[in-house]
Amino acid sequence: MKFHKRLLRAEPSFRLLSKLWRISWLYVLLICTLAAAGYITLYSAAGGAPYPFAAPQAARFAVGLVMMITIAMLPPKVLIRAAWPLYIFSVALLAAVLHMGHVGKGAERWLIIGGVQVQPSEYAKIALVLVLAAWFHRLNHRQMGNPLWLLPPAFIVLLPVVLVLKEPNLGTATIIGGIGAALFFAAGMRLWQIVLLVLPVPYLIKVAYSHLHDYQRARITTFLNPESDPLGAGYNIIQSKIALGSGGMWGQGYLKGSQGQLNFLPEKQTDFIFTMIAEEWGYAGALTVISLLLIIILGGMLMAIRSRNRFGRLVALGISVNFFLYCLVNLSMVMGAIPVGGVPLPLVSYGGSAMLNVMMGFGLLLSTWVHRDSRFGESEPD
């Protein structure tokens, strides 16, 4: 295959070692710290044991780390070339999952490929970032002003959004839409144009609501009044709030959180892992984790600003926004600020697919950092 050979030839201008040197190891350390916080919490979630959560998670993280470093070595040209095939492949997977996917608790759909659970919507996000970045990378300023050139990327965003909505996974669809909007804005689209794009959103919400499962509607109703059904749909929110609140300033102590240890917390090792942190380590611990997340997000944004090519800027921004939206939705959910949505806390929550996906994202982010000074194929300098 021609494509294959090109990939192997790759970028000649850097030696591998010097590339490794250019990786922001401080950033890698931040990521490892967050993963360590996840390990410690998962150890507690299992009642003070490495199994069944903490040890497998650590193993996955090791794999993810290797994958991240590997991806960080890939030059932007390779990424641009891989963008479209990846996008088409992930959209195909999204379509496939609609027909033959496994439906888990709620309706997160996944495929099992070679014994590994794959959640296509996660990969679609990364592919979307790459494709949009590649597309906008080629456009010059005049083209950006022309709506005709903006229609294809709008379609690129809407296709996975609609497919994910049909799953139906409202949370992920929102995040995909959010990433798309962020990239459009960063690429220099006019604000009024974005407003024009956003105008049909209320209609889309209405359509989406009519497609919602009963359990999803229940989430919205219980979100509005969680105490209305304390043992039913409101249970998660109430127990989560109790766990958060009972942590107080300094927490109940490691391995001593009553809500988590006594199993009152639902999904404590996955979506609601943050409540365990807050319960056992208190506001101090929770604030530390939030600060860590914020530093990682801002670090990504800084990488985007520092990049001297548009593609790198957009990829770094897209990945950071993706990570930010993940954190935002998860934290808002456990605090009862938005309806419960099946979105894990990246790197901390237990789960293989999400972990590998996030690490792939960080790989791309680091790649833009490694290749921050290379300039290529841009229509005009900014």
Decide: is 263 part of the binding site for another protein (CB under 8 A).
yes
Element (H, E) at 113: strand 109-113
**Could you tell me the smallest distance in angstroms from the CB atom of residue 323 to another protein?**
10
Q: What single-letter amino acid sits at 224? A: L
By CB under 8 A, tell whether 255 contacts another protein: no
Write out the binding residues for another protein, residues 207-246 only, by CB under 8 A: 239, 241-246
Question: Least distance from C-beta 249 to another protein, angstroms?
Answer: 5
> Does residue 301 interact with another protein by CB under 8 A?
yes
Using alpha carbons, select from 165, 219, 201 the residue that is nearest to residue 338. 219
> Of residues 262, 380, 381, 382, which one binds another protein by CB under 8 A?
262
Quick one: which of 73, 124, 163, 331 contacts another protein (CB under 8 A)? 331
Q: Binding another protein by CB under 8 A: which of 84, 89, 254, 264?
A: 264
Query: How far apart, in Å, are the Cα atoms of 302 and each of 45, 295, 297, 365?
Result: 34, 10, 9, 11
R_g (Cα) of the chain, nearest Å: 21
DSSP, collapsed to helix, strand or coil, labels residue 109 as strand
Question: Per CB under 8 A, does 49 bind another protein?
Answer: no
- By CB under 8 A, residue 290 contacts another protein: yes
Closest Cα to residue 28, out of 372, 312, 300, 314?
Answer: 300
User: Do 309 and 376 contact (CB within 8 A), yes or no?
Assistant: yes
What is the distance in angstroms between the CA of the first residue and the CA of the last residue of the chain? 36
CB of 311 to another protein, least distance (A): 20
Tokens, residue 380 = 């005009």
Contact stretch for another protein (CB under 8 A) within 102-110, 144-152, 326-334, 341-349: 326-334
The answer to whether 288 contacts another protein (rule: CB under 8 A) is: no
Cα–Cα dist 308/30, whole Å: 24
- Please pick, from the candidates 119, 236, 259, 309, the single residue that binds another protein as defined by CB under 8 A: 259
Contacts with 104 (C-beta within 8 Å, 6 or more apart), sequence order: 110
Q: Does 273 bind another protein (CB under 8 A)?
A: no
What is the binding site for another protein (CB under 8 A)? 239, 241-249, 258-259, 262-264, 278, 282-283, 286-287, 290, 293-294, 297-298, 301, 320, 324, 327-328, 331-332, 335, 337
